[in-house]
Chains A and B, each alone.
Chain A
Amino acid sequence: QKEVEQDPGPLSVPEGAIVSLNCTYSNSAFQYFMWYRQYSRKGPELLMYTYSSGNKEDGRFTAQVDKSSKYISLFIRDSQPSDSATYLCAVLNSNSGYALNFGKGTSLLVTP
C-alpha cells in the first residue's frame, strides 16, 4: 500500500466552479500535510500546509485535514484558468526525517 493515494484525474471544470481535491494516507504518524501546485515543465511550489488536523484558508484556497479518517482535502473557490495545473498532496513525519511523501497528483483544467 502506498503511503499516499491520490486520484490522478484529469479533472475538468468551468471557470468559477468550486474544485475539491482529495488524498488519503496510511500512516497515522504523519504530522504535516501539504499541497503543492506544479505547472507543466516546472518544479512543484508549495500552496499551503497544515499541521495536524483542522482547516486552513488562504484566499480562494482551503486545506482540510481529518486525521481520524486519514483524509486531506484542498478546495479551490471561484476557480480560474490560471489554476490549471497538477496538484500534489504530500505528507511528512518529522520524527523520521523531513522527506515529503507525495501522492501521484491530480491534473486540473479550468476552462474559460
Chain B
Amino acid sequence: EAGVAQSPRYKIIEKRQSVAFWCNPISGHATLYWYQQILGQGPKLLIQFQNNGVVDDSQLPKDRFSAERLKGVDSTLKIQPAKLEDSAVYLCASSLGGWETQYFGPGTRLLVL
C-alpha cells in the first residue's frame, strides 16, 4: 500500500514570496491533516479536512495561509506572503476517519530567508 506522498521535499524561498505544497493521501482515506513542525517542536495542526470540507482550521493563519482539498483526494497548502517564522517542516497526514491511526508523509522542509 502506497503511503502519503508529498512534494516538494525541500523548498527555499525569500520572505514575502509565495509557496505551495502538495499532498496525496493514502487511497480511501477520508480525513486529511496539515501539520506544521518547527525545529525542536512537535507537530501542530494547521487544518483538518473531512472529504472536501474543513473540520478544523482554528490554528491556520488565514491572512497568509490557505488550503484546499479538491474532489476529496489531493490537497494543497499555500503560503502567501511567507515570513521568516514560517520556516518549518510541513507534514501531511491522512486517516480513514474519526480517531483512526494517522499516517504521515515525509514532509516538506521549508526555509524562508
Chain A residues within 8 Å of B, Cβ to Cβ: 4, 6, 8, 32, 41-46, 49, 88, 90, 92, 94, 97-100, 102-105
Indicate if the CB atoms of A42 and B106 lie closer than 8 Å: yes
How far is it, in angstroms, between the C-alpha of A103 and the C-alpha of B41 when the chains are bound?
Answer: 7
Within 8 A of A (CB), among B79-102: 91, 93, 95, 98-99, 101-102
Closest Cβ–Cβ distance, residue A112 to chain B (whole Å): 26
Asked if B4 is an interface residue, CB under 8 A from chain A, the answer is: yes
Q: Which of B4, B40, B109 contacts A104 (CB 8 A)?
A: B40
Contacts of B33 in A (CB 8 A): 99
Given A44-B104, A98-B48, A99-B56, is A6 in contact with B42 using a C-beta cutoff of 8 Å?
A: yes
What is the interface residue range for chain B against chain A?
A: 20 to 34
Indicate if the CB atoms of B42 and A105 lie closer than 8 Å: yes
Asked if B113 is an interface residue, CB under 8 A from chain A, the answer is: no
Contacts of B107 in A (CB 8 A): 41-43
Given A99-B45, A100-B45, is A43 in contact with B98 using a C-beta cutoff of 8 Å?
A: no
Chain B residues within 8 Å of A, Cβ to Cβ: 4, 31, 33, 40-45, 48, 55-56, 91, 93, 95, 98-99, 101-107, 109
Indicate if the CB atoms of A43 and B45 lie closer than 8 Å: no
Contacts of A49 in B (CB 8 A): 101
Contacts of A32 in B (CB 8 A): 99
How far is it, in angstroms, between the C-alpha of A102 and the C-alpha of B43 when the chains are bound?
Answer: 6
Indicate if the CB atoms of B42 and A98 lie closer than 8 Å: no
How far is it, in angstroms, between the C-alpha of A38 and the C-alpha of B40 when the chains are bound?
Answer: 12
Closest Cβ–Cβ distance, residue A107 to chain B (whole Å): 9
Closest Cβ–Cβ distance, residue B101 to chain A (whole Å): 5
